[in-house]
Structure 1
Amino acid sequence: MKTVTVALLIFVTGSSAQFKCPDRTGFFPDPVQCDLYYVCSKGEYEEKLCPDGLVFDARDPNHERCDIPANVDCDERTELQEPHPSPGCPRANGYYRHSDPLACDKFFNCVNGVPHELPCPPGLIYDDTASTCAWPDDSHRKDCKNAKRDKLDDGFTCPDEEILGPGGRKLPHPTFAHPEDCGKFYICRNGVMPQKGQCVKGLVYNEETFTCDDPKNVPGCEDYYEKAEKSKTKKA
């Protein structure tokens, strides 16, 4: 580690010695190190480093801006400062995959070496290549393609295949009939996050229309409420 540090210091010093301000005033990138840049004033420069984990955005010389690597095109500026890792944070700042390899739907936002756990929206996983949440099929991660799906307490899980509604249109939040109760159904948020649903009194779930409907329109559920009332009477 000491050898790396010394080599980095030599490189930075050499790069600084050769740097010339492209303009009298502005913020300009180092030609080889993406998190190193220079503040020029009256033709003189001051060398500065972005916080560890961030890199210099060189698109506008009038603005001093450091951002996450996913948002910046470093091009040939491939060198970086020595990292300052901490538990959960490969570098002091930025977005990183969760330390638990099974927690594909969570990630860390590291701020000054402190990891803050954040969740992805239902059905998405964290893609560390893009530093954002993405659908498993669109993600670059191979370890989460078959991430375990959530299961309700009665065993229901959302199916893998797409559900098409009227007109062959994909349903973003498909619903499914309860196997034993006409008045209940399941909702799959974003197609993957299961939740329980309940029709308002007087209606039952119609799996043909994916909505709650009049019992007379749902074969097998015509007498649902009459049977429920009789059951309550017997128990009383």
Structure 2
Amino acid sequence: MIFSKKFLGQCSFEIIFSFVVCVCNFVQVIGQNFKCPLKNGFYPDLIQCDLYYRCYNGQAEERLCADGLVFDDSNPNHERCDIPVNVDCLERKELQKPKPSKGCPRANGIYRHWDTQICDKFVNCVEGKANELPCPPGLIYDDSKSNCAWPTDSLRKDCTNTRREILEDGFSCPIEEIIGPNGRVLPHPTFPHQEDCQKFYICRNGVTPQYGSCSPGSVYNDVTFQCDEPENVPGCENWYGDDKKEETKKP
């Protein structure tokens, strides 16, 4: 019985959460009021989503998923508990009493980070131990789907002011999307340096700033978002001075 390996649909990467579903708590009690649909199999309780029954020769034995997991009733031949986002509990709304610990609302599951100011990390709780994990650059944790998503695609609205990395000279990537010359959003937009025409900034995935530099003799053009000849960039025409002029005279 292995935890299903599902992930974050919008991303180009994969994270595997390894829950072993023998983390079910076996309750050796005969289900007195539960009637087995068939002689053998695993069947959900009608009210509680993390409670289920093992039927053997028509006799029901009550079993309980580990705290934070719920019973996956998609196949009566398999005994499997999973995180709630992967299981449709329908009318089975009740759950066992939670067993919280530091960083974990329940003993098992995927949850938002305990620091409400941190949106680009989440917590994978296994048997009460909180494991802090990062989202890929530019993504935030969306607890409605238990995965990482682009802020514009997320239902989480408390991360619009997520703390952003700041370079030594004070530059940080803007929150708004940057549209390129072709009318499309730039995935890694660039910005001019405030003091150096040859240098510029790159925002990886729109959020992670780093320094960039044009090759010697060229300068950054903030209209085309590319390196260009100095004479094509107002204010940077004489950036290289006589050195540039001498270079153009060479055969």
Under TM normalisation by the shorter chain, which class is it? 0.7 to 0.9
TM-score relative to the length of structure 2: 0.77
Secondary structure of the residue aligned to 1:18 is coil
Supply the distance in 2 between the matched residues of 1:163 and 1:15 (Cα, whole angstroms). 62
Label 1:223 to 1:44 Cα distance change in 2 as closer, same or farther (>3 A). Answer: same
- Structure 1 counterpart of 2:89, from 61, 65, 74: 74
Secondary structure of the residue aligned to 1:212 is strand
Counterpart residue number, 2:225: 210
String of CA shifts for 1:49-99, please: whole Å, max 9, x gaps.
Answer: 111101111112222221111111111111111211111111110111212
String of CA shifts for 1:99-136, please: whole Å, max 9, x gaps.
Answer: 21211222111011100111122232222222122333
- Structure 1 counterpart of 2:56, from 38, 41, 53: 41
Aligned residues: 218
Paired residue type of 1:109 = N
Supply the distance in 2 between the matched residues of 1:82 and 1:228 (Cα, whole angstroms). 75
Counterpart residue number, 1:126: 141
* 14-23 or 34-43, which deviates more: 14-23
String of CA shifts for 1:6-58, please: whole Å, max 9, x gaps.
Answer: xxxxxx99992111221222221111110111222332332221111011111
TM-score relative to the length of structure 1: 0.81
Q: Kindly indicate whether residue 119 of structure 2 is the aligned counterpart of residue 104 of structure 1.
A: yes
Supply the distance in 1 between the matched residues of 2:143 and 2:80 (Cα, whole angstroms). 22
CA contact (8 A) 1:15 1:30 kept: no
Paired residue type of 2:222 = E
* 203-212 or 45-54, which deviates more: 203-212
Q: Kindly indicate whether residue 67 of structure 2 is the aligned counterpart of residue 52 of structure 1.
A: yes
CA contact (8 A) 2:30 2:59 kept: no
Counterpart residue number, 2:158: 143
Paired residue type of 1:80 = L
- Structure 1 counterpart of 2:107, from 92, 109, 124: 92
Q: Offset at 1:216? A: 4.8
String of CA shifts for 1:130-164, please: whole Å, max 9, x gaps.
Answer: 21223334433343232233221111122233211
Q: Which runs of 5+ in 2 are unaligned?
A: 1-26, 245-251
Supply the distance in 2 between the matched residues of 1:67 and 1:228 (Cα, whole angstroms). 67
Supply the distance in 2 between the matched residues of 1:23 and 1:228 (Cα, whole angstroms). 88
Label 1:54 to 1:106 Cα distance change in 2 as closer, same or farther (>3 A). Answer: same
Counterpart residue number, 1:165: 180
CA contact (8 A) 1:88 1:108 kept: yes
Counterpart residue number, 1:189: 204
Secondary structure of the residue aligned to 1:160 is coil
Higher fraction of helix: 1
Q: Which runs of 5+ in 1 are unaligned?
A: 1-11, 230-236
Paired residue type of 1:194 = P
RMSD across aligned positions (CA): 2.5
Supply the distance in 1 between the matched residues of 2:191 and 2:240 (Cα, whole angstroms). 20
Q: Offset at 1:217? A: 4.0
Counterpart residue number, 1:63: 78
Secondary structure of the residue aligned to 2:55 is strand
Counterpart residue number, 1:32: 47
Supply the distance in 2 between the matched residues of 1:227 and 1:74 (Cα, whole angstroms). 74
